[in-house]
Chains A and B, each alone.
Chain A
Amino acid sequence: MKLYMENLTKEYEGRKVLDIGKLQIEKGDLCGIIGPNGAGKSTLLNLIAGLIKPTSGRLMYGDEMELTAPQKKITMVFQTPYLMHTTVEKNIAYPLKLRNWSSDRIEARVEELTRELGLTNFRRQKSWKLSGGETQKVALARALSFQPELLLLDEPTANVDPSTTAEIEKMLKRINDTSGTTVILVTHNLVQAKRVCAQAIFLNQGKVVEYGESEKMLKSPEHDLTRRFVAGELLI
């Protein structure tokens, strides 16, 4: 799903924490958002997800330039995901129930996702008995279940071990590749941004400093701030 932002700002108690002049993310992009702590990365993601309202400006979705977030087509995975107090498979099936899928279709989809994410043995496990990495994978499976057009992820591998991180990254690339899902990944891991995302946005103090191919941006940044960030001179 294409995204288009124009003079988008967000203020908290009179303090401008986000100020995006013009920004367009194309359909099918796999785009990373990087930047130091407090840069406004989560705020931007929450705005796109429709969880908070902008103070001013416009945020438009899809070719039809819709002004309200099409909640049935977009979804978000949080840094510390909340799983419902029930089994893994019921968590994954929940968005499908909301969309009135038949139980046969739900079963097939849950089977497929748990297999792809190595969760087959956990299907009937209660959510609170999972490890951090398993929890994150279930949250991802639940988000992917209904084949969203836009997937937002807020530091999904911040609390996850390397092998699970690799699994999650592989999955993100694959669904972007095969389903054309637009993926926006907030990460403070620059290596991950380079490894996973074709595009990257560098956000600093609420403003887009640089936007372009991730590899190029991280190898030879155009902007001095980006260079300092990549060199580790700005606090992450």
Chain B
Amino acid sequence: MEDIATGFHNAIILLLTLDAQLYEIVGLSLAVSLSSVIISACLGVPLGALIGTHSFPFKNALLRIIYTFMSLPPVIAGLVVFLLIMRRGPLGSWGLTYTPTAMVIAQVCLVTPIITGLTYNIVRDKAPTVKALAITLGAGKMESLKLLIFELRIGILAAIVTGLGRAISEVGAVMIVGGNIKGKTRVMTTYIAQLKSMGDYSTAIAVGIVLLIMAFLINTFLYNVQQKIEN
């Protein structure tokens, strides 16, 4: 209990004193997670929409794979990416080990299936209705697709934010490929894990609180966008 109280106290001090190290860590967390989510959205939204509006052989098998990857343990994603980019790995010459780029790659592997799967679900449910409407109102193929994305905008946004939540909160993948190197690849989650193992509980809680505040701000932003669309 005391640790939690001290944690709050320290969090406020850290934030108010504009602790440079903390802001660097928060900054990198955001940069890595946002980049991953933007890339994943660019891949996952069109992919999910495509799968949701077309039928093709092995579609069910593909969907099962996507659903499985939606709950891929981060350490596995981290491990696979690490094995690919490590010095002796197939992409070793790129020199990506323990870089933010590697962290983004690992998170893209985690987040893309989530955005693809969630987009697929909402597209599958609504596409037939919207498509029929578009045809009866005289829309062409492109105009139908535009209408579909417009109609699903809230759901797609929610899928993207779910992906962002996953990215910013996971620790396994970024730890394995990034290595939690101070000033280079240290992000909030890996820092918390390290502080805990060093027994510095109050700073760990302080950083945890900052992480929660970030999550709260992101969700507030989403909520406002949603409200704006609805009203």
Contacts and interface: CB of A to CB of B under 8 A. Distances in A.
Interface stretch (B34-42, B61-69, B135-143): B135-143
Given A82-B129, A82-B130, A126-B230, A71 B151 contact: no
A49 B135 contact: yes
B139 A75 contact: no
A129 to B, nearest CB: 10
A138 interface: no
A202 interface: no
A51 B135 contact: yes
Contact of B137 (A50, A51, A85, A95): A95
Contacts of A105: none
Nearest to A148: B138
Interface in A34-88: 49-51, 71-76, 78, 82, 84-85
Contacts of A126: 230-231
A235 interface: no
Which one of B133, B135, B137, B231 has the greatest number of beta carbons of chain A within 10 Å? B137
Interface string A139-170: 00011001000000000000000000000000
A137 B89 CA distance: 64
A99 B138 contact: yes
Contacts of A84: 133, 147, 150-151
Contacts of A51: 132, 135-136
A82 B133 contact: yes
A99 B140 CA distance: 11
Contacts of B132: 51, 78, 82
A71 B129 contact: no
A147 to B, nearest CB: 12
A122 interface: no
Contact of A94 (B135, B137, B153, B229): B137
A13 to B, nearest CB: 16
Contacts of B231: 126
A50 B135 contact: yes
A108 interface: no
Given A82-B129, A84-B147, A75 B230 contact: no
A95 B230 contact: no
A55 B138 CA distance: 24
Contacts of A75: 136-138
Nearest to A73: B138
A51 B144 CA distance: 13
Contacts of B230: 126
Contacts of A142: 137
A98 B136 contact: no
Interface string A159-184: 00000000000000000000000000
Contacts of B153: 85
B152 to A, nearest CB: 9
Given A49-B135, A49-B136, A72-B138, A98 B151 contact: no
Interface of B: 129-130, 132-133, 135-139, 143, 147, 150-151, 153-154, 229-231
Given A51-B132, A85-B150, 19 more contacts: A49-B136, A51-B135, A51-B136, A71-B136, A71-B138, A72-B138, A75-B137, A75-B138, A76-B136, A82-B129, A82-B132, A84-B147, A85-B151, A85-B153, A85-B154, A98-B138, A99-B138, A143-B137, A146-B138
14 contacts: A71-B136, A72-B138, A75-B138, A82-B130, A84-B147, A85-B150, A85-B151, A85-B153, A85-B154, A94-B137, A95-B137, A95-B138, A98-B137, A126-B230
